[in-house]
Amino acid sequence: MRWVTRENVHLDRVASPWLIRRFIDPEAEFLFIDPERPWPDDAIPFALPGAELGMHDENGSTFDKLMAHYRIDDPVVADIAGVVRAGIRHLFGEDQAGASAETVGLGVALLALSEGVMVVAPGDHRNVAASTVVYDALYAYFWGRRHDPRVGPASFWERMAALRESCPSFPCGLERK
């Protein structure tokens, strides 16, 4: 299926193609357009003004809207959604009430990585491709936290060995649809 969004993807509009490819449509083709121009009738619009799967707003991020619309109830994806929301809130200087310190910190880091990838991988298709490893790694991180929540330097290497053993293929715990 073809999907269409605004050009110059960043954070939420990079996370959303990752979510689409990993959980909704593995063969997704993405089009990036000027938001002032009409979108193709044969493409599913997301993060476009007036689209059912609209832009981030008071009702949540585009990532949240995709999760709800396609009934994605993976708790690890929900963890990532929180990080995406925290990154958006940080960008706009909004209140982070209700988000944990870890989620806020990861949101700020994800925002920084998103901005950096825009610089080192210019162009929307290159940006999405380069960002995939970031979101796969974030998925693996949260999967690992749920699988073995130990923290601290005393258990780090043991924990990493156990996670690698229980995760024979990358990304850990991620079932491709």
pLDDT single digits (tens) 93-139: 999 999 999 999 999 999 999 999 999 999 999 999 999 999 999 99
Q: Give a yes or no: residue 21 inside a domain.
A: yes
Average the pLDDT over 141-168 and give the result: 89
Q: Give a yes or no: residue 8 inside a domain.
A: yes
Adjacency order of strands within the sheet including 2-6: 29-33, 2-6, 43-45
Q: Give a yes or no: residue 127 inside a domain.
A: yes
Q: Give a yes or no: residue 172 inside a domain.
A: no
Q: Give a yes or no: residue 174 inside a domain.
A: no
* Measured distance CA(162)–CA(118) in Å, rounded: 35
Q: Give a yes or no: residue 173 inside a domain.
A: no
Share the mean pLDDT of the chain: 93
Q: Give a yes or no: residue 98 inside a domain.
A: yes
Q: Give a yes or no: residue 139 inside a domain.
A: yes
Provide the domain limits for residue 133: 2-166
* Number of domains into which the chain is organized: 1
Q: How high is the pLDDT of residue 177?
A: 41
* Measured distance CA(152)–CA(40) in Å, rounded: 51
- Is residue 47 scored above 50 in pLDDT? yes
